[in-house]
Structure 1
């Protein structure tokens, strides 16, 4: 399989503090690739560099061979790289269907004019229903998003993300703050939507990482400690020392 997203020599300094130091990362087509590490490892900074919410001090980032190092988040989204956030980001007073419809309006270049005629707005409904069904929320389709459980809100976010027709999903701690039942539901959802997409995720839940990931990159103090499948990285002495010494988030 080819490389979809690649970083070479990726470095980020904040006033003399090196948060990410000379990181090389390659995400293969069709894989689920996890970025993990103990507290302060540089995972979030690295993820924000890859998703263009931060600009690197040095190094390059390419997507399908195209240099995206200096691009903005909106630019890479148009290329097919779409990210989620740790904090729930739904419109609480809109229904599940309406939340997904907003994403479809954005993808089609439509205005967010909620006062326009219902006929104009509802032309996206069939496609929105398909995305709602894809994430298992059909029975909640008319519910206000603010009334959903936390796990179902995250599923709704994924539905809205899928409405943007991403080639690659970048998930920022998708299981953060979830009860076990929701973790199992979202794990199954990620596995399902990954069948024809590439996924890079930052995740602190190691059982989820072990269950889902094809490849894992372990960071500590801004540098790569180990890389490989879970069986490989979980036995690496440097990884064991890093987690025992710092704890994981």
Structure 2
């Protein structure tokens, strides 16, 4: 399969600190690819670079064969490189249905649709219902988004992200803060969302990574430490040492591991 997203020598320095250093990443189209590593490895910084939230100090980024190293973040999102965040972002006072419909309006690019009547916005209703059904949220459609349990809020965030019709979906710790039942539901949603698109995810729950991902890139101290399928990277002595050295021994058995890395240096 062709590579839909690639970096060459991608680097970012903050006041002399090398958060990301010479990262070469190749994400195959149609795959689920994980970016893992101990806290402070550079994972979230990589996400911020790929989605153009911050500028690279050095290196290049190519998306669908096009150089996007200096392309503005909003233009990159419109091209189909769309991300979610560690913290769920929904409009709490709007209904679940309205949140998804608003995301569809944003995809169309007409911000003044916000002020149009429900009748005028009915063109979005069918697709809204489809997305809610895919996310397992049909029963919650009329509820205020702020009233949703945490796991369902993350499902709503995924539905609103899918409304933007991404070619590549970047998920930043989608399982963070979830219990076992919500994790199983979220994993199912991600597997379904991956049909017909590419997923790149940062995730600390290694059992999820093992079950979901086709390929894994391991970062440590801002550099690529290893790459391959789960069986390959989990046996790599350098990977074992990196996790043991950061207090992550046996993480494969855990279901609720949260990241403490900061967005700018993560």
**Equivalence for 1:193:** 193
Give the match's secondary structure for 2:194. helix
Give the match's secondary structure for 2:75. helix
Matched, 1:111 2:111: yes
Runs of 4+ in structure 1 over 6 Å off? none
8 A Cα contact 1:96 1:140, kept in partner = yes
Separation (CA, whole Å) in 2 of partners of 1:162 and 1:112 = 21
Cα shift at 1:216: 0.2
**Equivalence for 2:254:** none
Q: How does 1:82-161 map to 2 (within 5 A)?
A: 82-161=82-161
Calculate the TM-score normalised by the size of structure 2. 0.91
Separation (CA, whole Å) in 2 of partners of 1:52 and 1:82 = 11
Cα shift at 1:112: 4.5
Cα shift at 1:59: 0.1
Separation (CA, whole Å) in 1 of partners of 2:194 and 2:91 = 25
Q: CA RMSD in A?
A: 1.0
Separation (CA, whole Å) in 2 of partners of 1:68 and 1:154 = 28
Separation (CA, whole Å) in 1 of partners of 2:218 and 2:246 = 13
Residues 247, 72 of structure 1: alpha-carbon distance in 2 compared, 3 angstrom cutoff = farther
**Equivalence for 1:203:** 203
**Equivalence for 1:42:** 42
Give the match's secondary structure for 1:178. coil
Cα shift at 1:120: 1.1
Separation (CA, whole Å) in 1 of partners of 2:102 and 2:247 = 40
Q: Deviations over 1:96-141 (max 9, x none)?
A: 1100010111111222454432211232111111111111111111
Mean Cα deviation higher: 118-127 or 215-224: 118-127
Cα shift at 1:195: 1.4
Q: What count of residue pairs does the alignment treat as equivalent?
A: 249
8 A Cα contact 1:3 1:29, kept in partner = yes
**Equivalence for 1:67:** 67
> Which structure 2 segments of 5+ residues have no match?
249-258, 260-266
Give the match's secondary structure for 1:100. helix
8 A Cα contact 1:105 1:112, kept in partner = no
Q: How does 1:1-16 map to 2 (within 5 A)?
A: 1-16=1-16
Q: Deviations over 1:14-56 (max 9, x none)?
A: 1111111100000001000000000111111111111111111
**Equivalence for 2:19:** 19
**Equivalence for 2:228:** 228
Separation (CA, whole Å) in 2 of partners of 1:65 and 1:116 = 38
